Amino acid sequence: MTDLSIVSVETTILDVPLVRPHKFATTSMTAQPLLLVAVTTAGGVTGYGEGVVPGGPWWGGESVETMQAIVERYIVPVLLGRGVDEITGIMSDIERVVANARFAKAAVDVALHDAWARSLGVPVHTLLGGAFRKSVDVTWALGAAPAEEIIEEALGLVESKRHFSFKLKMGALDPEVDTARVVQIAQALQGKAGVRIDVNARWDRLTALKYVPRLVEGGVELIEQPTPGEQLEVLAELNRLVPVPVMADESVQTPHDALEVARRGAADVIALKTTKCGGLKKSREVVAIAKAAGIACHGATSIEGPIGTAASIHFACAEPGIDFGTELFGPLLFSEELLQEPIRYADGQVFLPEGPGLGIELNMDAVKTWTRN
């Protein structure tokens, strides 16, 4: 059997340009920084993980720079000499030396899964119990352009059968202007595609109580995290108020968070990001709690590159509890391809990569091109 002992861990920061600016409630980005974590075994197998946050440290306090420091200074000593098949023990030991830092931990967790699966010659989903499905629905995030341009983009994607569900970011503009823009788009797409919104936790209670019902009346089919993540009582109030699903994102980053959302009836859906949860192992704990409580889970994105996206696709395809579709569109937002063979998107779906490990191979020339100096 191949020697599974870890002999080296390397990190690399990339800055990959996007096809267009991607706007959040508090920031806009034209390139996505990625932290590649490469774990190599004595048997000569290398597994890759990806540290990535949506738009920088504003979301969860981490950045590629902090992740690199945490991995190199504190996590690498825990890894060296251990087997890549010791994921449970390794991740438990990392918890003893590093609090929080879930995005950094996710990069390591995925690299271990990739290396172990490659050593066995099996796909990552096999380590998660096998593929429950071979593809999942994928929602596309629309930009911050004027409504007419957004409508044209969405209709083009529907016509090409690439996407049938769309998400719009809110929270950066005046709520009155923002709501009117979203309603215009939702009504133009009614009967052709679904429209959902994400406020990135930027509205206070009174603003949300005023504008969320208007959005629902205007045709919005899902409301994601309108109010601050810690204010579960407000999210629960909104969840009782409107007839469409309310989705918790910032409110759920740990299994205990999921338990609190369930206990308070704060959301119908949880946005499950393998990144914010700390990797595939912790993500399974969150989904298990949601399933027990009758809460749906959506495969959400941190705008991952191909490695993080592939990991989340394996998770979503192996986990029946990811039962509310996904938004694993990250690589489509990148203007440069980092893989030898791109992840496949068609007919409103993203397809499970085939092959050992994550089922993808990096184009090392492209990686070199976009490596930060």
pLDDT at site 246: 99
Q: State the amino acid at position 276 in one-letter form.
A: K
Q: Report phi then psi at 26, rounded to 5.
A: -120, -5
- Return the CA Rg of the chain: 20
- Cross-strand partners of 10: 38
- Taking the C-alpha atoms of residue 369 and residue 15, their distance in angstroms, rounded to an integer, is 9
How far is the C-alpha of 290 from the C-alpha of 2, rounded, in Å?
A: 37
Distance CA(175)–CA(185), nearest Å, equals 15
Please choose, from the candidates 207, 186, 200, the residue with its C-alpha nearest in 3D space to the C-alpha of residue 229: 200
pLDDT at position 25 is 66
CATH 3.30.390.10 boundaries in the chain: 6-121
Nearest alpha-carbon partner for 224 in 273, 272, 183, 270: 270
Asked whether the beta carbons of 310 and 358 are under 8 A apart, the reply is yes
**Predicted pLDDT at 58:** 83
Q: Is 315 left (phi over 0), alpha (psi -120 to 50) or beta?
A: alpha
User: What is the pLDDT at residue 1?
Assistant: 63
Q: Which residues are designated catalytic?
A: 169, 327
**CA 170 – CA 166 distance, rounded (Å):** 13
Whether 13 and 64 have beta carbons less than 8 Å apart is answered as yes
Indicate the pTM of the whole model. Answer: 0.96
pLDDT in tens, the chain (373 residues): 689 999 999 999 999 999 988 877 677 889 999 999 999 999 999 999 999 998 788 888 999 999 999 999 999 999 999 999 999 999 999 999 999 999 999 999 999 999 999 999 999 999 999 999 999 999 999 977 789 999 999 999 999 999 999 999 999 899 999 999 999 999 999 999 999 999 999 999 999 999 999 999 999 999 999 999 999 999 999 999 999 999 999 999 999 999 999 999 999 999 999 999 999 999 999 999 999 999 999 999 999 999 999 999 999 999 999 999 999 999 999 999 999 999 999 999 999 999 999 999 999 999 999 999 8
For the domain made up of 6-121, the CATH class stated in words is alpha beta
All CATH 3.20.20.120 domain ranges in the chain, comma separated: 127-364
**Which runs of consecutive H residues, i.e. helices, occur in the chain?**
64-70, 76-79, 87-97, 102-120, 124-127, 147-159, 175-189, 205-217, 232-241, 255-264, 280-293, 306-318, 330-333, 364-369
Q: Which long-range contacts (CB under 8 A, 24 or more apart) does 344-347 make?
A: 345/138, 345/162, 346/161, 346/162, 347/161, 347/162
Per-residue model confidence (pLDDT) at position 247: 99
Phi and psi for 285 in degrees, rounded to 5? Answer: -65, -40
CA–CA distance, 369 with 14 (Å, rounded to integer): 9
Give ∠ CA 43-128-366 in degrees, rounded to 5: 55
Query: HSE of 333 in the Cβ direction (CA atoms, 13 Å)?
Result: 27
CA distance 148 to 143: 12
User: 127-364 — its CATH code?
Assistant: 3.20.20.120
- Note the pLDDT of residue 146: 86
Sign for the CA dihedral angle at 40, 371, 100, 274 comes to: negative
Residue (of 230, 234, 154, 157) closest to 196 by Cα position: 154
Token pair 């340009």 in the structure block, residue: 17
